[in-house]
Structure 1
Amino acid sequence: MNITKQTRDKQCHTVEFNTFTFSGGEEHVRLTDIATDDITSITIQTNLTSSAAIMQLFMAVDAAKRLYGDKPDYHLVIPYFPYARQDRVCVEGEALAAKVMADLINNMGFTTVTIWDAHSDVTPALIDRVRNLPQTHIIEHAPKLSEAITTGAVTLVAPDAGAAKKTINVAKHFNAAVPPVQAEKVRDVATGAILSTSVNGDISGKDVLIVDDICDGGRTFIELAKVLKHQGASTISLYVTHGIFSKGLDVFEDLIETIYTTDSFNCTERFTQSTATTKLVVINV
């Protein structure tokens, strides 16, 4: 978590704080700053990748408002919005988890809430005063990748129907010289297993870039990469805004050469010592 304050002279200063977890599991946050009357805004940026991080955020907001009062604007930047994938009730008796999380955030009364590449249109619709940075904005921070898309050095591949809209938007934004290719997958709804994957286009001899928003264990991309290789793709790369990589990077060995992602799941820290041959490129936004 990073907390900054801006003063009337437009100067930004880091707000120091300390945290610890009580033996009962409760989170504690204390800001070690001195309140002054020239503070115009407070910005908190944090990766909400655990329940502890979520509670630390709520404690930090309460601590800040007790220290600085309600006069400053309060801005929140959370690259990955937690529970975004649970944006519908699939089975009776389930919670609409994305709304539960949005209600908690909204109750904090932020002036603005910035998220990166929302999983679907549902999440931004649930959050008050939200700013959703699209994939295109993030990819712009990777000039070489942007150029490869524009010139047609890579062919974009949408891994499934859900990623089609985002992939088409990337192609249009960068005026891609080569139209994107659509892939399809069939899942077993009972087990979640991928039964088959198909690619609707000619990728023989091409360098391809799979585009999506989230990679968890990576099964979708692994199965797709196998098909792309079988159909003659020269190289396979992957762009995902949010790299959870719960199975590590080794699962992509000999299939995906390079993965582009952000640090929304602390990839820089988690994979510094990785010996995987798949290259991880973290885009700084």
Structure 2
Amino acid sequence: MATMNEPKLIAGNANLPLAEAIARRMSMNRGVQLGLVDARVERFNDGEIFVEVYENVRGEDMFIIQPTSNPANDNLMELLIMTDALRRSSAARITAVIPYFGYARQDRRTKARTPISAKLVANLLAQAGIERVLTMDLHAAQIQGFFDIPVDNLYASPIFALDIKSNFKGQMDDLMVVSPDVGGVARARELAKRINSPLSIVDKRREKPGEVAEMTVIGDVTDKICIIVDDMCDTAGTLCKAAEVLLENGAWEVHAYITHGVMSGPAVTRVTNSVMKSLVITDTIQPSEAVKAAPNIRIVPTAPIFSQAILNIWYGTSVSSLFEDSTLTPIYESLYAMD
């Protein structure tokens, strides 16, 4: 329920630039200055995390902005300890804004005697005192069911659709959306529907994690501008290989739209040297200097949609309305020239 006070934002160290951008955007929307709550989140010499909140938060509607990206364990503990500090300071409600939800790839048991870590993390968050989660493009939709608290899962596809329409004007009839695996077909279909493009699939078979043994293109990509869409790019091995296979099968050029740019290990080098014309990622994970310097990597902001989602939660209005073009377009009109 909305309170008479303004919503209050607090951030850990995982992605301060995004948290500050969300605060600026909310200030514009509300017409009042909304900064991050003054706090310190630091480590003792032995690595223990300590949090101190310098402002009164009693009775406040608090939003903690903290993706659980690399280093996942440190950022997760920061989130849990910040939650405990706020709960013990009598905050009225605590919402965790987790742009990138770490451990999401461990959403099921693929072999005997393995954990379902995504469920464990969901339990930890709820037990810490978090009452609602706001995230983007969960790796698997069923993770929402791991929580016994409300979860709002935003989608990057509406933002990507706006970006594609802006950057591929006059070429829309030549586009082909490509899912890099069978598991991502639903996500690719959603984007294809938004930009009215056909859909193709790259079927891959893995020998072991991180390596791809064989790839087959399902669908005719001849003379098409292929747009690979996925939820995350880790080492970029699969992505770069898929781009090569698409060109070998007659594609004119290949671009990629990935929500979470994990970009670990050799990822930046692989993308820079790949046949892909461009890789578009969001800022759910704070990009490294190497990512920002890469000539064929572009970053689109998520602060506009997250700030509006936070306000909708605070107002008690619909978050799913942000999935519609009529609602999202005005939020991003300063970035894209809309016809």
Q: TM-score, normalised by structure 2?
A: 0.73
Over 3 Å counting, the alpha-carbon distance change for 1:20 and 1:64 in structure 2 is same
Is the 2:283–2:299 contact (alpha carbons within 8 Å) kept by the matching residues of 1?
no
Which position in structure 1 is the counterpart of 2:50? 28
Q: What SS does structure 1 have at the residue aligned with 2:128?
A: coil
- 1:47-58 to structure 2, matched below 5 A, reads 47-49=67-69, 50-58=72-80
Q: Can you give the 5+ residue segments of structure 1 that lack an aligned partner in the other structure?
A: none
Single out whichever of 96-105 and 202-211 deviates more from structure 2: 202-211
CA distance in 2, matches of 1:129, 1:245: 30
Give the drift of 1:109. Answer: 3.1
Greater strand fraction, Structure 1 or Structure 2: 1
Partner Cα distance (2:35, 2:49) in 1? 25
Give the Cα–Cα distance (whole angstroms) in 1 for the partners of residues 302 and 166 of structure 2: 13
Counterpart of 2:86 in 1: which secondary structure? helix
Measured after TM superposition, the shift of residue 53 of structure 1 is 1.1
Q: Which residue of 2 aligns with 1:121?
A: 141
Pair 170,143 (structure 1): closer, same or farther in 2 beyond 3 Å: closer
Cα distance change, pair 30–95 in 1 and its aligned pair in 2 (3 A):
same
Q: Please state whether the residue corresponding to 2:107 is helix, strand or coil.
A: coil
Report the counterpart of residue 181 of structure 1 in structure 2. 200
Q: 2:62 aligns with which of 38, 42, 45?
A: 42
Q: 1:191 to 1:59 in 2, by over 3 A?
A: closer
Matched, 1:202 2:220: yes
RMSD: 2.7
Does residue 263 of structure 1 match 2:293? no
Structure 1 Cα separation of the partners of residues 291 and 226 of structure 2: 24
Cα displacement string for residues 176-198 of structure 1 (whole angstroms, at most 9, x for unaligned residues) = 1x31112211221x565311111
| Compared CA separation, residues 122 and 234, structure 1 to 2 (3 A) | same
CA distance in 2: counterparts of 1:73 and 1:244, whole angstroms: 30
Answering whether residue 86 of structure 2 is matched by residue 86 of structure 1, we say no
Distance 1:170 1:148, change over 3 A: farther
- How many residues in Structure 1 have an aligned counterpart in Structure 2? 273
Deviation string 1:29-76 (CA, Å, 9 cap, x unpaired) is: 1112134x6x54111111211211111111111112223x04x22111
Q: Which amino acid aligns with 1:158?
A: S
**2:172 & 2:126 partners in 1: Cα distance?**
42
Q: Which structure features the higher share of helix residues?
A: 2
| Alignment-mate amino acid for residue 242 of structure 1 | H
- The answer to which structure, 1 or 2, has the higher relative contact order (CA under 8 A, 6+ apart) is 2
Are 2:87 and 1:65 aligned? yes
**Preserved CA contact (<8 Å) 2:137 2:154:** yes
Change (3 A) 1:122 1:149: farther
The alignment status of 1:248 with 2:267, answered yes or no, reads yes
